[in-house]
Amino acid sequence: MTITTCVFDAYGTLFDVAAAARAAAAEPGNEALTGTWPKLASDWRHKQLQYTWLRAITGAHTDFWEVTQNGLDWAMEAAELNDPQLRERLLALYWELASFPEVPKMLADLGQEGKSSAILSNGSPEMLAGAVESAGIGEYLDEVLSVESVGVFKPHRTVYDMVCNRFDCAPSEVLFVSSNGWDAAAATGYGFTTAWVNRAKEPVDRLPWVPQHILSDLTTIPDLARDL
């Protein structure tokens, strides 16, 4: 069946989650991050995701902004950074994450191909609105879907249900794109056609399903959507 709708995870897929720590490290007064910001960014992201999984499993849902703060607090303690001002700066920068360089053209090309484009994210509506505005990609998106509508984080099936409900399409009409291998794998199990953007060249997760396409960036998404 022809792909009609392309759906993207937000953080790490369209938006560079390392950008906040990288930008903070370049600012005067934040020399403590020099040389250590990549590990801080990595720990922050890993804990952020782990907390979403644990909250989904235990039924202790909260919004993504809280788990984002919780993840940063863990990462800063692990790095022995006790600096409230730095914490506030990192959190402020998270609302202004840059998109990856290829994102605007890729989304524009999808629109020219007649494909619908949307975000499906753990992020809260407010966080997603800030990121979309900061990256300047709102004009290319038909919808921004947040898990707050269903009250549980990915990869719960009710999250993926939101796509077909919104676009009145079958799962087979959806190309789902994520930088998280587990997210792409779960979406494969749901019935979407999937692409994993594996920028870090990580191994494939050992799960019951695997991403159907593995890419190094988002550049070829319009070609993939057209050819499927």
pLDDT in 10s for each residue of the chain, 228 residues: 699 999 999 999 999 999 999 999 999 999 999 999 999 999 999 999 999 999 999 999 999 999 999 999 999 999 999 999 999 999 999 999 999 999 999 999 999 999 999 999 999 999 999 999 999 999 999 999 999 999 999 999 999 999 999 999 999 999 999 999 999 999 999 999 999 999 999 999 999 999 999 999 999 999 999 998
3-state helix, strand, coil in the chain (%, to 5): 50, 15, 35
The whole-angstrom separation of Cα 39 and Cα 114 is 40
Residues 105 and 80 in one domain: no
- How many structural domains does the chain have? 2
Domain boundary among 73, 94, 115: 94
Whether the CB-CB separation of 177 and 195 falls below 8 Å is answered with yes
Cα distances (Å, whole numbers) of residue 15 to 74, 149, 169: 22, 21, 26
Choose the catalytic residue: 9, 16, 109, 183: 9
- Give Cα separations from 225 to 84, 101, 107, 140, 179 (angstroms): 45, 20, 12, 16, 17
The answer to whether 183 and 160 have CB atoms below 8 angstroms apart is no
Look at residues 32, 63, 94 and tell me which one is the last residue of a structural domain: 94
Q: Are residues 123 and 219 in the same domain?
A: yes
What pLDDT does 146 receive?
A: 98
Per-residue confidence (pLDDT) for residue 1, from 0 to 100: 66
Which residues is 143 bridged to in the sheet? 118
Residues 158 and 46 in one domain: no
| Residue 43: active-site member | no
**Where among 78, 94, 110 does a domain terminate?**
94
> Do 164 and 108 belong to one domain?
yes
Domain that residue 113 falls in: 5-15+98-227
Are 66 and 81 members of one domain?
A: yes
- Domain containing 110 — which CATH number? 3.40.50.1000
Predicted TM-score of the model (pTM): 0.96
Same domain, 43 and 106: no
